[in-house]
Amino acid sequence: MLECLKKIGPGAIVASATIGAGETVLAVRAGAWGGYSLLWLILLATVTKSLLTLYMLGRYSAVSGQSVIEKLVDFPGPRGWLLWVILSLETLVAPLVFVVIAVPCGRILSQVLSSWGVSLSYEWLAMIFVSLAIGVGMIQQYETLEKSQLIVCLILLVGTVTATTLVGPDLKEIAKGFFRFGYVPAYPEWVPPQVSSRSPLLEMAAVFGYAGSIPMNYMVYSNWILIKGWTVKKTGLGPLRWDVGFNASLVLVVTAAFMVAGAAILSPLHRIPKGFDLLTEQAQIFGQISSMMIPLYYVTILTALWGTLNALPDIYARGAHSFLRQLIPRTGNLQYRQVMTVFGLVMLVVTWFLIWVGTTPIILIDLVALFSTNLGVGLVCVAAVWLDWQLPTERRSSRLLWWATVLSAIIINLMTILSAREVLGKYF
């Protein structure tokens, strides 16, 4: 077992950064109103994004010895346009990502402290939590980040599997739910107006988006592959396959476990708490099953959110550094740590501001899902298909794998179109 864990590398960072507020809020919420029948959505998102897209990007770097960002500056069209689009989307969405994760952390910590007789507003606690996570992320080395994120992943795996076992889910319905591809359930009659006023398709597009990571995470994965020295000449593709397999398996199990929790606990009670209140209210509902569920729930949730916040500074800074060096030649001497410092400080200030003025959580979640985890990742998947085609014929992936990735790109971009239509219809 220990030897297997030693083989896991950057896939742990990708998995930890993937499992955040979307999984802990949206997956549970979808399970509450859709039951087990939406598990197919989690499986589809995991295969298309966490498995195929990530593997094809990592494979390109392992085979070519080149970062995908270096090559994508030559993507067909005006020089660097794809990198500019992705960088712009990520810059626009990054503060929203931090807020979406930090606010539920603050709410949970406020509730815990309140039970101990300590009263602090969730805004202050959210700002403290995000400041610690970003601060540690700014100073830690890659090796430390990788090891800490592996610990986060193991805690998530143990916590979610234990919690799912305790709630006593319907195993037969779980198995059926994973393979009901394309099924769109209607809202039950008991669903409150705050939820029923939203199209089920909008909910599903957001769930699909968050059952995956931000585009920068997938692209920076190729940088980490090169840092690890996992090239075909040195190690073959074995370490890459193991790493991507671990990432996809963890994302699938943990995200599905949260949805199962919503189906098994909230759905029978006809409960769908609003916004980020879902996290704090759900803890009390879990406590009705077993008193040990409450601390287990808090540890699992806070670990998931900490892991994401802690990994994001390296992901964004390393990605922005690589993007800028390719897009603006005169930045060739720009150091990664300089980008990290500027990015970290700017994100802190903007995130503090957005937390303090108050924001509507579901709007932030919808915008992040549309521009980052659907549109951005859809572009990255298209890029993965193109990158493989740039390799010498004998080094390209199998035709089956290539066409599977093409199909993944089509699915993700169709979900982007659905997300855009529903978001524009809802808010504009």
CA atoms within 13 A on the CB side of 67: 20
CA dihedral 82, 85, 87, 89 (to 10 degrees): -140
**Looking at this protein, which amino acid is placed at residue 257?**
A
User: In percent, how much of the chain has pLDDT > 70?
Assistant: 92
- Give the integer Cα–Cα distance in Å for 282 and 269: 11
pLDDT of 344-359, one tens digit each? Answer: 899 899 999 988 887 6
**CB-neighbour burial class of residue 349 (10 A; exposed 0-12, middle 13-18, buried 19+):** exposed
Phi, psi at 214, each rounded to 5°: -80, 155
Stretch 60-71: mean pLDDT: 96
CA dihedral 289, 291, 297, 303 (to 10 degrees): -160
pLDDT of 120-147, one tens digit each? Answer: 898 999 999 999 988 998 888 888 999 8
Q: Give the model's pLDDT for residue 361.
A: 66
Phi, psi at 34, each rounded to 5°: -105, -5
pTM score, whole prediction = 0.92
Rounded to whole angstroms, what are the CA distances from 22 to 34, 42, 64, 238, 317? 16, 12, 34, 31, 22
Helices (H), 212-292: 215-228, 238-261, 267-269, 277-287
Q: Give the model's pLDDT for residue 160.
A: 82
CB atoms within 10 A of CB 84: 14
pLDDT band at 285 (very low <50, low <70, confident <90, very high): low
Q: Give the model's pLDDT for residue 272.
A: 81
Residues 6+ apart with CB under 8 A from 126: 102, 103, 105, 106, 107, 355
**C-beta of residue 388 within 8 angstroms of C-beta of residue 397:** yes
CA dihedral 379, 384, 389, 391 (to 10 degrees): 140
Token pair of 372 as six digits: 């980052």
Helix (H) or strand (E) holding 171: helix 171-177
**Looking at this protein, which amino acid is placed at residue 146?**
E
- Give the integer Cα–Cα distance in Å for 202 and 192: 16
